[in-house]
Chains A and B, each alone.
Chain A
Amino acid sequence: MTERDEDRPEATWRSLEALDGDAGALRWRDGEFPDLARATATGRRSLLKLMGASVALAGTAGCERLPAEAPADPIVSRAGATPGHVPGEPLFFATSLPLEGYGRGVLVESHEGRPTKIEGNPLHPASLGATDAFAQAAILSLYAPDRLRAALRRGGGRRRLDGTLAQLAAEFAADGGAGLRLLTGPVSSPSLTAGIASLLDRLPEARWLQWSPVGDGNRLDGAALAFGERLETRLDLARASVIVAIDDDPLGPGPNQVANGAGFIAGRRDPARFSRLWVFEACPSLTGARADRRFPVSPRAVPAIARAVAAALGVVPPADDGVELPPGLVEDLRRAGPAAVVTAGRRAPPEVHALVHAVNLALGAVGTTVHHTRPVLAGAPSGVAALAALAAEIDAGAVSRLVVIDANPAYDAPADLDLARRIRRVPFSLCLASRLDETAAECLWTLPLAHPLESWGDLRAPNGTVGLMQPALAPPAGTMTALELVARLAGSEAPARELVRGYWEQAFPPGEFEAAWLRTLHDGVVEGTAFEEIPVRLAPGWEVPPPVPAQGEGLTVLFAPDPSVWDGQFADNAWLQELPKPLTKLVWDNAILIAPATAARLGLANGDGAVLELHGRALEAPVWLLPGHAPDCVTLPLGYGHRRGDVARGLGFDAYSVRRSEAPWVDGGAVLQPSGRRHLLATTQDHGTMVGRDLVRSVPLARLAAMAALGGEAGGEAAGEEAGEETEVAGEDLPSIYPEYDYSGPAWGMAVDLNACIGCNACVIACQVENNVPAVGKEEVARGREMHWLRIDRYWEGDPADPRIHFQPVLCMHCEKAPCEVVCPVNATVHDSEGLNVMVYNRCIGTRYCSNNCPYKVRRFNWFDYADEGGRPEVTANPDVTLRERGVMEKCTYCVQRIQKARIQAKLEDRPIADGEVVTACQQACPTRAFTFGDITDPASAVSRAKASPLNYGLLEELNTRPRTTYLARIDDPPAPEEAS
């Protein structure tokens, strides 16, 4: 499968190395742990000694502290009963988590006061019941051991600052806040905005600015150019039939990923109303992976493409710059009209956004697929210009006091602003941070910031809806929220809850506040706070100046937020670090992403070190060859190369160190040269390589109709055999030497809709959090020892210069004829009465025969005591799932703890388990509902109906394992010429 097959040019491949038949990559096909023999290179004599010692000590391995001798772990009587709390049952709190200032609504599951899991809030417009990967991982950052717990003074010691804050407030008030600058992250919170406004009223000389290194301000500035006012732009992809993304990644990580993903897939479920996605981009993104027509273009070409689209639709006069749009694009847009949408991304300059806004207006898309509202983020100056102005003010000596709240400019500001050095020059600086990060290290005082899960507050979703934040546990003493600090500086002593409550008390009608407040806390969203849509028209005298082209000859450089650590704020989260990035599958690192052809020209291979010089600044970093990347440009993922932080320090390279404030997103004139060094990059792209036919399948839209007409019997080569074979428990007539089972009760099964999967990784982390799966570190991952029970396999298909991209979540198949079960010498993996392939940790003696015999490579072995070393304190683990010891095999259980919970609840209520009552962790997190789980013996269940689709197929069905997990082939709408091949 992984080898290039001349007869099947469309064959999928996992890595460039595998495509070229490189021995290094094929090792992963031939063995699950290829370097195992070398890892234990031991002489015969030592081996015999070790074996002897092992046998002698084997008896003691079973010695646990016996129940009788164990020190009594006490049982606890509380002082008083807590209303609503049932011991042993989790409580759920509705709250919001911030990303780029916007809120994402979540429900926090809390066991006996300890948050263990995060789910989406179905009532919240940016969640709709699902979450992204960042939200899932927030649990770990809550328990990060290096969180600040007390105030710190630069150069020495911990001090209490409570008294000093009041003095500080008085001091500020005395001279009207002269020389005071307040630097925050992006703020959407109504109460914090009001709090800062009242602080600024008190201190008229003070100024406030917002900073995010990956802010989306260009989109709003583009609206200012086109419509005359800064407006928020929100996409409704569910109503779009033609989507054109110009260097934009609406399906990629960001505050609106969940809603965009859900909308996009809603427009791709029904073959009769199937949207078409055109993507122009340099670096493959999640959106590009789902594109029907994808064009790798240099970011330098983006303004010209936008202008050509605008010109073709008559929005601007045609320019004579020789840009030719791909055939069919303009016709598609014209035909779709109001159901079309064009979108540009955060890298695009305001001028491009202005063109895009005008195009959408001309198409009639505004109001259907595009919605404009007033800006969600506060109006304080933001972006690179504001930060550059601050730097200039510091140089001029105009800043005598700097307060930094939840921002890290010393790390993530463009290099030429050198905020680290400048902050140190400010006489008084105060920083509110969760960790001793780069900025905190430069500030005179650092106060500990409360985690969002410990905070009172409010955040606006991208559509304006306010989600309340309420603490799921009490913050550690001494920590405070941004709102509290602002109130303290304004001289108020009110606690955070009173500040938030006080703000909303004015917003609700009098007399009804108490009931409304309780309902709002319960729901997590404030009703009726979504912003009204603002009708727009082009500003008179509207004119788009041509954007300034990237300077210099040579390579073009793009900066991009990292899919795992975003702008660097999640770099201290081991779960996110170990989350394989969707396209590169790299973990614990970033790399200079480059097209294979360009790399070949420069003499670079994967993992080769290279020196990148950009306008007098240089960095040394490994390169990573990314198929589908546009030639002659490189992508630098941001967020790595931290100088502080227990986990983040020293990982990857710091792309901010070459970023310039003049060209924060796209820069020209770079020189890339091999440095001669080699870097160890850990990637999972070849791990778990399966050998078989048509592992990941897709069907062209045009052929789907033919298949349906023939009753699902005809497939064609691309559709594979998905129509032919049945994967049901019953009705299987292939002979098998494995025992037959006859199920009377529920038999659990899953269908994974590849047509819905956008590869966002939310399920991977959700599974990790729910099932207490540890992180193992870079070196262990490089040995193939990652522990994720659910992985997403990424396949490339076709030409490495412009391949198609497939995602396939792979978890335990719960085979009806499970090859793992029969080889276990101690019955540690067995079939249960509901068809689950269960793993009995206490029986497991670690032979790893089961893993060796698993064709899907979904079993994970605890080579070390990862659970103890994985960074998650034991008390924070999900109490419903056993922690696994060293030497024990583990794998996906279909969230058996959730099945049991549903079964017990049904039994207590004396009824059968309803369809849809058992929701697995991956299923619950998925923004696009790609997973369906339920009873496959019930023909009416959702999963049975999904499996009845002609698109249903089993992975490696030819092995007759009869997997319980099956896949629905992806539907694509490829261009006509390829359809014929």
Chain B
Amino acid sequence: MAQIFPPRSTTIARSILAGIVAAVLVAAVGGYVVTRSDWYWRVGKAEPQPVPFSHLLHAGDLGLDCRYCHTTVERSALAGIPPAQTCLGCHDGLPVGGAALGPLRTAFDTGEPFLWNRVHRVPDHALFHHGIHVSSGVGCATCHGPVEEMPRIAKAGTLSMSWCLDCHREVEPVGPPVTDGDGGLLHPLTDCSRCHR
């Protein structure tokens, strides 16, 4: 009786098995690498905005302080997105901007809020507070990068949890350390409840 499978079947079967293992490995490694990549987190990518606002011009060339527009950054959880009124405070008297500012002027005239596309997004279950970071000596550029060099605002870091923890683990805790019985250090700044509640 003739053989059903020729001798090369073994090789094919083996390579298929090896292929499955390899595919799983590639998927795992690939997934690991991709989800940690800047590409995945859109680092450095600008979003289209309804008004082509340039931080390069305002913060860089004109040298405006961040806090001129982001007024509540030192005391509130939110840095504060300036109202249209703040923009028009200068632009009403300046012949610059022109038609590009149209949507802002409309917003101001109608009283309707004006929507920007979000660049820095933190998930809902992570409660970030700008004020506590600024007052603890973390400068704006530490997280947002050289904003004054960005014609269109883009993320300078991934804003992932591990990215946050890179700092939170490094900062020396204030006061004597808290330890559990095995000598393990409980770092107050890495308590889950600091950001998640």
Residues of chain A from 810 to 852 with CB closer than 8 A to chain B in the complex: 830-834, 836, 838, 840-842
Cβ of B177 within 8 Å of any chain A Cβ, yes or no, is: yes
Chain A to chain B contacts (Cβ below 8 Å), 6 pairs: A72-B118, A79-B114, A742-B178, A744-B175, A882-B124, A908-B132
> Chain A: which residue is nearest B107 at the CB level?
A79
Cα–Cα distance between A893 and B191 once the two chains are bound (Å)? 13
Given contacts A70-B121, A72-B118, A882-B124, contact A908 B177 (CB under 8 A): no
Residues of chain B from 130 to 174 with CB closer than 8 A to chain A in the complex: 131-132, 135-136, 159
Verify A830–B192 contact, CB threshold 8 A.
Answer: yes
Verify A838–B193 contact, CB threshold 8 A.
Answer: yes
Verify A79–B193 contact, CB threshold 8 A.
Answer: no
Q: Measured between C-beta atoms, what is the minimum distance from A868 to chain B in Å?
A: 14
Given contacts A744-B177, A833-B178, list 8 more A-B pairs with CB under 8 A.
Answer: A68-B41, A72-B117, A78-B113, A86-B80, A87-B72, A88-B77, A742-B180, A833-B188
Q: Using a Cβ–Cβ cut-off of 8 Å, how many residues does chain A contribute to the interface with B?
A: 47
Cβ of A978 within 8 Å of any chain B Cβ, yes or no, is: no
Q: Using a Cβ–Cβ cut-off of 8 Å, how many residues does chain B contribute to the interface with A?
A: 58
Cα–Cα distance between A841 and B195 once the two chains are bound (Å)? 12
Given contacts A741-B179, A745-B178, contact A900 B121 (CB under 8 A): no
Cα–Cα distance between A77 and B76 once the two chains are bound (Å)? 16
Verify B187–A833 contact, CB threshold 8 A.
Answer: yes
Which residues of A sit under 8 angstroms from B108, Cβ to Cβ? Answer: 79-80
Of B83, B111, B177, the contact of A77 (CB 8 Å cutoff): B83
Which residues of B sit under 8 angstroms from A548, Cβ to Cβ? Answer: none
Question: Contact mask A181-223 → B, CB, 8 Å, 1/0?
Answer: 0000000000000000000000000000000000000000000
Question: Contact mask B21-48 → A, CB, 8 Å, 1/0?
Answer: 0000000000000000000111000010
Cα–Cα distance between A882 and B83 once the two chains are bound (Å)? 28
Which residues of B sit under 8 angstroms from A834, Cβ to Cβ? Answer: 188, 191
Verify A79–B112 contact, CB threshold 8 A.
Answer: yes
Verify A743–B111 contact, CB threshold 8 A.
Answer: no
Verify B186–A79 contact, CB threshold 8 A.
Answer: no
Verify B178–A77 contact, CB threshold 8 A.
Answer: no
Nearest 5 Cβ contacts at the A-B interface = A88-B78, A740-B181, A74-B115, A88-B77, A832-B191
Q: Measured between C-beta atoms, what is the minimum distance from B184 to chain A in Å?
A: 8
Cβ of A67 within 8 Å of any chain B Cβ, yes or no, is: yes
Verify A78–B125 contact, CB threshold 8 A.
Answer: no
Chain B residues within CB distance 8 Å of chain A: 40-42, 47, 72, 74-78, 80-86, 104, 107-108, 110-118, 121, 123-125, 127, 129, 131-132, 135-136, 159, 175-182, 184, 186-188, 191-194, 196-197
Q: Measured between C-beta atoms, what is the minimum distance from A294 to chain B in Å?
A: 43
Cβ of A904 within 8 Å of any chain B Cβ, yes or no, is: yes
Cβ of A43 within 8 Å of any chain B Cβ, yes or no, is: no
Given contacts A72-B118, A842-B125, contact A907 B181 (CB under 8 A): no
Cα–Cα distance between A880 and B193 once the two chains are bound (Å)? 12
Verify A841–B196 contact, CB threshold 8 A.
Answer: yes
Cα–Cα distance between A81 and B89 once the two chains are bound (Å)? 12
Verify B129–A904 contact, CB threshold 8 A.
Answer: yes
Verify B132–A744 contact, CB threshold 8 A.
Answer: no
Verify B196–A89 contact, CB threshold 8 A.
Answer: no
Which residues of B sit under 8 angstroms from A883, Cβ to Cβ? Answer: 124
Verify B78–A77 contact, CB threshold 8 A.
Answer: no
Cβ of A270 within 8 Å of any chain B Cβ, yes or no, is: no
Verify B86–A81 contact, CB threshold 8 A.
Answer: yes
> Chain B: which residue is nearest A881 at the CB level?
B197
Q: Measured between C-beta atoms, what is the minimum distance from A47 to chain B in Å?
A: 28
Which residues of B sit under 8 angstroms from A362, Cβ to Cβ? Answer: none
Given contacts A80-B84, A832-B186, contact A882 B181 (CB under 8 A): no
Given contacts A88-B76, A900-B194, contact A741 B178 (CB under 8 A): yes
Verify A77–B114 contact, CB threshold 8 A.
Answer: yes
Cβ of A896 within 8 Å of any chain B Cβ, yes or no, is: yes
Cα–Cα distance between A89 and B123 once the two chains are bound (Å)? 19
Verify B75–A86 contact, CB threshold 8 A.
Answer: yes
> Chain B: which residue is nearest A74 at the CB level?
B115
Cα–Cα distance between A70 and B121 once the two chains are bound (Å)? 10
> Chain B: which residue is nearest A76 at the CB level?
B113
Cβ of A941 within 8 Å of any chain B Cβ, yes or no, is: no
Verify B80–A68 contact, CB threshold 8 A.
Answer: no
Given contacts A88-B77, A897-B197, A908-B75, contact A74 B117 (CB under 8 A): yes
Verify B113–A67 contact, CB threshold 8 A.
Answer: no
Cα–Cα distance between A893 and B197 once the two chains are bound (Å)? 8
Q: Measured between C-beta atoms, what is the minimum distance from A83 to chain B in Å?
A: 12
Cβ of A23 within 8 Å of any chain B Cβ, yes or no, is: no
Q: Measured between C-beta atoms, what is the minimum distance from B150 to chain A in Å?
A: 16
Verify A741–B118 contact, CB threshold 8 A.
Answer: no
Q: Measured between C-beta atoms, what is the minimum distance from A62 to chain B in Å?
A: 11
Cβ of A319 within 8 Å of any chain B Cβ, yes or no, is: no
Cβ of A84 within 8 Å of any chain B Cβ, yes or no, is: no
Q: Measured between C-beta atoms, what is the minimum distance from A126 to chain B in Å?
A: 33
Q: Measured between C-beta atoms, what is the minimum distance from B26 to chain A in Å?
A: 16
> Chain A: which residue is nearest B76 at the CB level?
A88
Q: Measured between C-beta atoms, what is the minimum distance from B140 to chain A in Å?
A: 17
Verify B41–A67 contact, CB threshold 8 A.
Answer: yes
Of B47, B135, B180, B192, the contact of A907 (CB 8 Å cutoff): B135
> Chain B: which residue is nearest A829 at the CB level?
B192
Which residues of A sit under 8 angstroms from B129, Cβ to Cβ? Answer: 904
Which residues of A sit under 8 angstroms from B118, Cβ to Cβ? Answer: 72-75
Residues of chain A from 887 to 904 with CB closer than 8 A to chain B in the complex: 893, 896-897, 899-900, 904
Cα–Cα distance between A535 and B2 once the two chains are bound (Å)? 121
Q: Measured between C-beta atoms, what is the minimum distance from B172 to chain A in Å?
A: 13
Cβ of A739 within 8 Å of any chain B Cβ, yes or no, is: yes
**Most chain B beta-carbon neighbours within 10 Å: one of A739, A833, A904, A907:** A833
Q: Measured between C-beta atoms, what is the minimum distance from B109 to chain A in Å?
A: 8
Cα–Cα distance between A86 and B129 once the two chains are bound (Å)? 13
Verify B193–A907 contact, CB threshold 8 A.
Answer: no
Which residues of B sit under 8 angstroms from A831, Cβ to Cβ? Answer: 180, 186
Question: Contact mask A854-893 → B, CB, 8 Å, 1/0?
Answer: 0000000000000000000000000011110000000001
Given contacts A742-B179, A904-B131, A904-B132, contact A75 B84 (CB under 8 A): no
Verify A908–B180 contact, CB threshold 8 A.
Answer: no
Cα–Cα distance between A832 and B47 once the two chains are bound (Å)? 38
Of B85, B136, B178, B192, the contact of A840 (CB 8 Å cutoff): B192
Verify A741–B186 contact, CB threshold 8 A.
Answer: yes
Verify B197–A832 contact, CB threshold 8 A.
Answer: no
> Chain B: which residue is nearest A747 at the CB level?
B178
> Chain B: which residue is nearest A741 at the CB level?
B180
Cα–Cα distance between A908 and B76 once the two chains are bound (Å)? 10
Question: Contact mask A729-742 → B, CB, 8 Å, 1/0?
Answer: 00000000001111
Q: Measured between C-beta atoms, what is the minimum distance from A61 to chain B in Å?
A: 16
Q: Measured between C-beta atoms, what is the minimum distance from B122 to chain A in Å?
A: 9
Of B110, B123, B187, the contact of A67 (CB 8 Å cutoff): B123
Which residues of A sit under 8 angstroms from B41, Cβ to Cβ? Answer: 67-68
Cα–Cα distance between A659 and B58 once the two chains are bound (Å)? 74
Q: Measured between C-beta atoms, what is the minimum distance from A551 to chain B in Å?
A: 60
Q: Measured between C-beta atoms, what is the minimum distance from A821 to chain B in Å?
A: 11
> Chain B: which residue is nearest A745 at the CB level?
B175
Cα–Cα distance between A88 and B76 once the two chains are bound (Å)? 6
Which residues of B sit under 8 angstroms from A907, Cβ to Cβ? Answer: 132, 135-136
Given contacts A76-B113, A88-B72, contact A745 B188 (CB under 8 A): yes
Which residues of A sit under 8 angstroms from B180, Cβ to Cβ? Answer: 739-742, 831
Which residues of A sit under 8 angstroms from B187, Cβ to Cβ? Answer: 833
Cα–Cα distance between A832 and B42 once the two chains are bound (Å)? 33
Verify B81–A75 contact, CB threshold 8 A.
Answer: yes
Q: Measured between C-beta atoms, what is the minimum distance from A302 to chain B in Å?
A: 51
Which residues of A sit under 8 angstroms from B191, Cβ to Cβ? Answer: 832-834, 838
Given contacts A88-B78, A882-B196, contact A79 B179 (CB under 8 A): no
Verify B193–A896 contact, CB threshold 8 A.
Answer: yes
> Chain A: which residue is nearest B45 at the CB level?
A68
Q: Measured between C-beta atoms, what is the minimum distance from A113 to chain B in Å?
A: 11
Of A67, A88, A882, A893, the contact of B125 (CB 8 Å cutoff): A882
Of A68, A744, A880, A908, the contact of B131 (CB 8 Å cutoff): A908
Cα–Cα distance between A743 and B77 once the two chains are bound (Å)? 28
